[in-house]
Amino acid sequence: MLDKDLEQYYESFADLFVTPGWKQLVELMKTTQEAIESVRTVKDLRDLDYRQGQLAVIDTILNLPLSIELAVNSHQEVVE
């Protein structure tokens, strides 16, 4: 069993992931990701580096539900 604070932490994320606002954010991130991924409009290496950073942040946001799920499962395995 998770301790109370950690359980509340994970439950807060679970609550977040089912909200309309989260779904809107995910759609916005996907649209932005598609626009940034195109290398045709990259001006130089600095622009490429910037886009790679943007994509890393977007990937983190889009993968957050899976990351939280894996963390909960991993923690539960350790406790059991």
* Tens-binned pLDDT, residue by residue, of the chain (80 aa): 468 888 899 999 999 999 999 999 999 999 999 999 888 889 999 999 999 999 999 999 999 999 999 999 988 877 66
How far is C-alpha 11 from the geometric centre of its chain's CA atoms?
Answer: 16
Residue-level pLDDT at 4: 87
Whole-angstrom Cα distance, residue 32 to residue 27?
A: 9
Q: What does pTM read for this prediction?
A: 0.83
Residue-level pLDDT at 2: 63
Residue-level pLDDT at 75: 82
Residue-level pLDDT at 24: 98
